Amino acid sequence: MTAQRESETVEKRKVRSRTGRSIARLRSASMDAYPLWRSRLLFLVGGICVGLAAVVMAKGADLAQEGFKALTAPSPFIALVLTPAGFALAALLAKTVFPNSQGSGIPQVIAARHARDARFRHGLISLRVGFGKVMVLFLGLLCGASAGREGPTVQVGAVIMAAFGRLTPDRLPGLLLAGGAAGVAAAFNTPLAGIVFGIEELGRAYEARSSGLIVAGIVAAGLTSLWLMGNYTYFGTTPAVLPLSAGWIVPVLAVLGGLAGGAFSRLVILFARGLPGRAGRFVSRRPILFAAACGLAVALCGLATHGAAHGTGYEEARNILHGDAPASLLYAPLKFLATVLSSVSGIPGGLFAPSLAVGAGLGGMLHPFVPDVPVGAVVLVGMVAYLTGVLQAPITSFVIVTEMTQNHALMIPLMVAALIADAASKAVCRTGLYHTLAEIMLERADVPAEPVTRTA
């Protein structure tokens, strides 16, 4: 009996030991899974917040542009006072109250991803910067700036994700990438373009470890925007096709758009690095006065185009695309000039929508050379060509235009246009605009950072 009891006792101890080890393994697995699930939740909740912010910025930008039209309704010459004064105030706020809110916002996100100095990184993507970006952007549009909201939405998206990233600092680079890409996806209702933009432009490398989480954040932002604004295409659908006999227009537009986009980037980079001589000293010592001068020049562009050079250019591009209004010969060059002036003035504002508008104007100008081709086909090629020239991100450019219009019949011509325009742009400006601006920020801050730019 004693031997039997001892045998039963030993067996019970073995069972308890095995049970204890199983519980320990379960606890260990649970503890290991907790950070992963926490990261997933942060990306999803952050994506929802980015979607909400994108909707707010879209509505606010529309209201600001309507406000400018209302203010200048009694007389278009009011812009000669309103626009310079607004530029000066916006530049002052961006420089003194909300530093690092100037410009597109995409270079700030790229610089934050590459910087190794936590304090400098926080200065680029703090909540204060995000709030200032939105408010001063609205002020600029209210005063007639030629600027878009999509680039600022990228920075705001990164700001929101960075706020969540404080809970998981090791995931911060992935969160910044997800926030920026989600901003593009929600701003245009183009989730695929958001993913491509995150890989091609913001990251220039695919982060396999965070890829699923980044896509989850983009999907969450896109669904939030979709829920609030409905299923829509940014420029409306167009069934336009390009006959093979008129295919010669594609390389012509691609070269013109690429060269023009490269020239735009070259000019913006030149001002960012600092003009030489007396002009450079004036800009650096009198930035607010320089902003007012830029505002005055933008107002003159607006007067010459009956107000079309102001704002994001969305309505003008849509009308040209659908043949509702012919493209004026002055529209593309003066919209180009107004966007350059708005970009170098030191006020917040994005480049996507104005670049698409310039490309639409360029396509509309050349449409009379192929009158038998639907105007929408030529305009879409112009959009892709000029946007590629500015961004030097050919895949993003043709994907985003295709998603904006749901026109898959033109995908091959748009791909060809993007590739040719990219090569033409790099002949004028060897490095990408956003990455060069990010590198300039890092150089001036003199902080340790990973390499940013990539030459042709």
Dist. CA 159–CA 171, nearest whole Å = 14
CB 211 within 8 A of CB 173: no
Q: Identify the residue with better confidence: 254 or 455.
A: 254
The number of beta carbons lying within 10 Å of the beta carbon of residue 5 is 9
Instruction: List the single range of 78-87, 149-158, 231-240, 391-400 with lowest mean pLDDT.
Output: 231-240
CA atoms within 13 A on the CB side of 347: 39
Alpha carbon 327 to its chain's center = 26
pLDDT tens column, 442-451:
998 887 777 7
What is the identity of the amino acid at 44? Answer: L
Domain spans, the chain = 39-229, 244-433
Q: Identify the residue with better confidence: 418 or 246.
A: 418
pLDDT tens column, 162-216:
888 776 665 667 777 777 887 887 777 777 777 778 777 665 544 545 556 667 7
Tokens of 98: 């909300």
pLDDT tens column, 16-25:
555 555 555 5
Element (H, E) at 128: helix 127-142
Tokens of 40: 């997933």
Dist. CA 401–CA 414, nearest whole Å = 9
Q: Say which CATH class 39-229 falls into.
A: mainly alpha
Dist. CA 2–CA 427, nearest whole Å = 94
Largest alpha-carbon pair distance within the chain? Answer: 110
What is the average pLDDT score of the chain? 84
Split at pLDDT 50, 70, 90, the class of 81 is very high
Dist. CA 163–CA 43, nearest whole Å = 11
CA atoms within 13 A on the CB side of 279: 7
Domains 39-229 and 244-433 fall in the same CATH topology: yes
Which of left, alpha, beta for 392 (phi over 0: left; psi -120 to 50: alpha)?
left
Dist. CA 402–CA 418, nearest whole Å = 12
CB 139 within 8 A of CB 161: no
Alpha carbon 255 to its chain's center = 23
* C-alpha radius of gyration, the chain, whole number: 25
Return the closest-CA partner of residue 181 out of 189, 193, 171, 169. Answer: 193
For residue 286, give the DSSP letter. -
CB 396 within 8 A of CB 201: yes
**The listed CATH number (1.10.3080.10, 1.50.10.10, 3.90.1150.10, 3.30.70.1400) that belongs to domain 244-433:** 1.10.3080.10
Length of the chain: 456
